[in-house]
Amino acid sequence: MDRLWQDPKKRRVAAQLAMLGAIGVGLLSANDEFAQAGGDCFTENECTFKKPNFMIVLDYSSSMSEPFGAADETRWQVAVDAITALMTTNGGYFQENMRVGLMRFGHDDDPDVSGTTIPGDSSGIIDGQALDVHWYDREGEDQSYLECNGEAIIAALQTTPAPLCPGGPGACSGIGTWTKGAMDFTAALIAESKAAHPEDTVPGDERFYGLMVITDGAWTAAEGTPVLSPPEDNPAITAAALFDGQGIPTYVVAVADAGDLPFANELAEAGGTNESLAAANPTELFQAMGAVVQDIADQVVVPECTAGLPRVMVLLDASSSMLNVGEQPGEPGQTGWDLAREALAAGDNSLFDVEVENLGRPVEDLIHLGLAVFGGDDPAEERVLVQYGPCMQDNFAWALDPSTSCAEPGCDDPWGGPPILWSFVDGSTVSPFFDQATHSHMPACEAGFPFCTGSGTYTHRGLELVFDNLLAYRADPPDLYPADEDTQYVNVLITDGQYSGYSTDAQVQGALEALFAEGVVTHVIGFGDNLGSAEAQLQLMNMAAWGSGGQQGPFDADTQAELEAALGAIIEDIEFDPCCAFNDCSENPEPTTEEPDPGMDSFGTADTADSADTADSADTADGADTADGADSAEGADSAEGADSAEGADSADGADSAEGADSAEGADSGWEDGGWEDGDGTAGDSADEVGEGGDAGFGGEFNPNGRGCGCALEQADAAGGRGRVPWALLALFGLAGLRGVRGQTRGSRRRVRSPR
């Protein structure tokens, strides 16, 4: 068979199946025991595919009792083994994820009389067919579907005697091959099933129906003879009616000599599957059934889910006023910077902790958050500190912690007032060694005034950075966290002052409207008590309107509590797909490796001896410490407890002559130069913006937050089994599944499920 059914309307590989194909799992070998069918069945809901209804139409003619090629077993025995394997392999995933029926067919000695049996047959064939197992309860009051009926199918096969063969091998006879009678019977069952379950026929949401004919000989008339006559008993007539009228395919597995006969291809072509699957020996029979399973897997339409968890970029004002309280540098926990850090990530009611009511999950589980800042323009201070990612709370809190960027000799007290010379570091290369690039940042606090100065409010530069980063991220999202044109993007601008004198209205308007044109709303929060003037309020209202197409106003937040409330209100406007596979940040913060990241209480201050950065690891504004910035021997600490010129750190954490920056030589983010690594600053090309955020997405496979293919149930505590769609069986074929018949009667064990 060159190709299977290729109806473009229905042939769509589900996201679940594609993910499973990458995992891989070994199938059972000839000596393996087989798992028991049945077990736990998943229940259909809005986040699962509709289970297909699939009928196995099994030839029960006497020729099925003939030997199968050179094997010691008969064709019937091998067929029973293959169907049993299909029901039991990998814990019974096939029969758990679809509804399976089983019918056998022979011939009808007297088609004009109802209730006719075949002389000598005790298997239950009546009027040419026997429905051994159905996929729904035809006699029940609600006619409900029968879930996970693999055990029923196995039991029916085990208790059914082999087809009549009174003449012995080579001369089996007594039951004919009225295939059209079986096809007509199945068509009637499908019509009954659809009538009993009208939800299966909703346009655009139809349930998949299919049948697989397993036969070893040419079709006959109803009475069992003659062969391939009369024309009205050709089963291809019914197969064509099912496929052309309802899109129901007929798969044909031609066993033994039937593989060389034209009737099998004729039946498959009429049924929309192009060619039959020839099985000249037992191994090919297993492979043929696996190919059928794979084709059905490719056609199961999974409910549409969004392409990825929403992405939210927080753009924080990093002007120097964020470090002051009035005309003085603020005390710890009192500055606008500290309060914003608490509201965003470090406090008990931070953005990451906001619970989404209809889902009962915190924001950190539902959104990929990123963090960017803006300040002065010479040098440019706008930067992406944390790229979009799951479970970034620790990264946010560390990047904005004043202690992170405070290292001697430039800083000995991050709240001590001017002058402070910050040392910016990347938390993926120094402790705490995040998986994702995480850059620390602080507003400038230069000498000249009793309060901090040096960083302005170049709002448009921060917005332009966010825009460039958006385009670069969309063009090349991380492999581990896919996104596409349907992924939601939202911006949150938090500012504590006017941009007058730094940015023009036209510059800010142009940047916000460009973002909105890309489908990204920018919410605006005015934070602090510096925005009470009429001019400041007008700027906030204008920015909110430009960033939302005129649909929204700004948020006014004077306190940390009001900032937290504003962030919570913004989250309420984001739509979440309940079918998404969300993160669980409580189990695995920043989930990209098997090594857990530290909690916030393990973050030391930058000025202790244990955490002071050496020249090899500390990031300066231009990316690396130079020899020009190293302390000379004359500048090293004295003999009273100080390190020698060879470079050991002193007890109080000062760097040695070989490794430390001097106060004069240390590079800052607002003196000569600027960021050298090109990961999100003005002047970088679009494909460089946000480069640092792409790091750290490799490592072990982890399904958390990979996007919103329909959610998969994870392993349950009792059985340790992950809920995996049934198509995985066919990805690797069913070759080699032998010896089932004897083994299913003995002790059974459940095979380890694919993870």
The model's pLDDT over 579-611, given as tens digits with 9 standing for 90+, comes to: 776 778 877 666 554 444 433 333 333 333 333
Lowest mean pLDDT among 11-25, 48-62, 123-137, 364-378: 11-25
489 pLDDT above the threshold of 80: yes
Residues 199, 239, single domain; the answer is yes
Q: What is the pLDDT of residue 590?
A: 60
Cα 754 from Cα 736, distance rounded (Å): 19
State the pTM of this model: 0.56
Alpha-carbon separation of residue 566 from 41, 189, 563, 695 (angstroms): 44, 58, 5, 31
Q: What is the pLDDT of residue 538?
A: 96
60's tokens: 């029960």
Cα 363 from Cα 381, distance rounded (Å): 28
Q: What is the pLDDT of residue 640?
A: 33
3-class DSSP state for residue 333? coil
Phi-psi region of 54 (alpha: psi -120 to 50; beta: other; left: phi over 0): beta
Residues of the chain by 3-state class (helix, strand, coil), percent to 5: 30, 15, 60
- Answer whether residue 206 is part of any domain: yes
Which pLDDT tens digit goes with each residue over 34-49?
334 444 677 777 667 7
Range of 513's domain? Answer: 311-392+454-572
Residues 209, 322, single domain; the answer is no
Arithmetic mean of pLDDT, 280-290: 88
146 pLDDT above the threshold of 70: yes
Q: Residue 79 is inside which H or E element, if any?
A: helix 75-96
Residues 244, 341, single domain; the answer is no
663 pLDDT above the threshold of 60: no
Do you know the residue count of the chain? Answer: 755
Alpha-carbon separation of residue 247 from 179, 302, 535 (angstroms): 20, 18, 66
Mark which of 526, 546, 572 sits at the end of a domain.
572
Residues 6+ apart with CB under 8 A from 357: none
Residue 344 is classified by DSSP as: I
Which pLDDT tens digit goes with each residue over 618-638?
333 333 333 333 333 333 333
Residues 81, 216, single domain; the answer is yes
Q: What is the pLDDT of residue 303?
A: 52
Which pLDDT tens digit goes with each residue over 46-93?
667 788 999 999 999 999 999 997 768 999 999 999 999 988 877 787
Arithmetic mean of pLDDT, 418-429: 97
Nearest to 629 by CA among 423, 399, 377, 402: 423
Cα 281 from Cα 298, distance rounded (Å): 26
Residues 244, 344, single domain; the answer is no
Report the number of distinct structural domains present in the chain. Answer: 2
Q: What is the pLDDT of residue 668?
A: 32
Residues 483, 556, single domain; the answer is yes
Instruction: Enumerate the H helices of 170-219 as residue ranges.
Output: 179-196
248's tokens: 């129901």
Quickly state the pLDDT bin for 259 (edges 50, 70, 90).
confident
Arithmetic mean of pLDDT, 712-716: 34
Cα 49 from Cα 44, distance rounded (Å): 7
Q: What is the pLDDT of residue 261?
A: 87
Nearest to 404 by CA among 386, 388, 380: 386
Residues 181, 96, single domain; the answer is yes
Arithmetic mean of pLDDT, 538-560: 96
Residues 295, 319, single domain; the answer is no
- Answer whether residue 582 is part of any domain: no
Would you state the torsion angle of the CA atoms of residues 453, 459, 461, 465, taken in this order, to the nearest 10 degrees?
Answer: 120
Q: What is the pLDDT of residue 729?
A: 36
Query: Residue 379: is the preceding peptide bond cis (ω within 30°)?
Result: yes
- Answer whether residue 134 is part of any domain: yes
Mark which of 534, 555, 572 sits at the end of a domain.
572
Q: What is the pLDDT of residue 732?
A: 33
Cα 714 from Cα 708, distance rounded (Å): 15
Quickly state the pLDDT bin for 351 (edges 50, 70, 90).
very high
680 pLDDT above the threshold of 90: no
Q: What is the pLDDT of residue 479?
A: 82
Residues 155, 260, single domain; the answer is yes
Parallel/antiparallel/unpaired status of strands 277-279 and 250-255: parallel
Cα 212 from Cα 248, distance rounded (Å): 11
Rounded to the nearest angstrom, the gap between the alpha carbon of residue 498 and the centroid of all alpha carbons in its chain is 42
7 pLDDT above the threshold of 80: no
Cα 98 from Cα 135, distance rounded (Å): 9
Parallel/antiparallel/unpaired status of strands 355-356 and 361-362: antiparallel
Q: Residue 238 is inside which H or E element, if any?
A: helix 236-246
480's tokens: 């581990």
Cα 207 from Cα 50, distance rounded (Å): 6
- Answer whether residue 352 is part of any domain: yes
Q: What is the pLDDT of residue 33?
A: 35
Q: Residue 132 is inside which H or E element, if any?
A: strand 129-133
- Answer whether residue 262 is part of any domain: yes
Arithmetic mean of pLDDT, 4-33: 29
- Answer whether residue 87 is part of any domain: yes
195 pLDDT above the threshold of 90: yes
- Answer whether residue 257 is part of any domain: yes
Q: What percent of the chain has pLDDT over 70?
A: 71
Selected residue with higher pLDDT from 360 and 704: 360
Selected residue with higher pLDDT from 665 and 546: 546
Q: What is the pLDDT of residue 558?
A: 94
Residues 251, 375, single domain; the answer is no
Mark which of 547, 572, 597 sits at the end of a domain.
572
The torsion angles phi and psi of 741, rounded to 5 degrees, stand at -55, -45
Q: What is the pLDDT of residue 637?
A: 34
- Answer whether residue 466 is part of any domain: yes
Which CATH number goes with the domain that contains 561?
Answer: 3.40.50.410
Residues 6+ apart with CB under 8 A from 626: 665
Q: What is the pLDDT of residue 313?
A: 98
What's the 3-state SS for 714-747?
CCCCCCCCCCCCCCHHHHCCCCCCCCHHHHCCCC
Residues 100, 181, single domain; the answer is yes
Residue 519 is classified by DSSP as: T
Q: What is the pLDDT of residue 329?
A: 95
Quickly state the pLDDT bin for 222 (edges 50, 70, 90).
very high
Arithmetic mean of pLDDT, 657-664: 32
Residues 265, 318, single domain; the answer is no
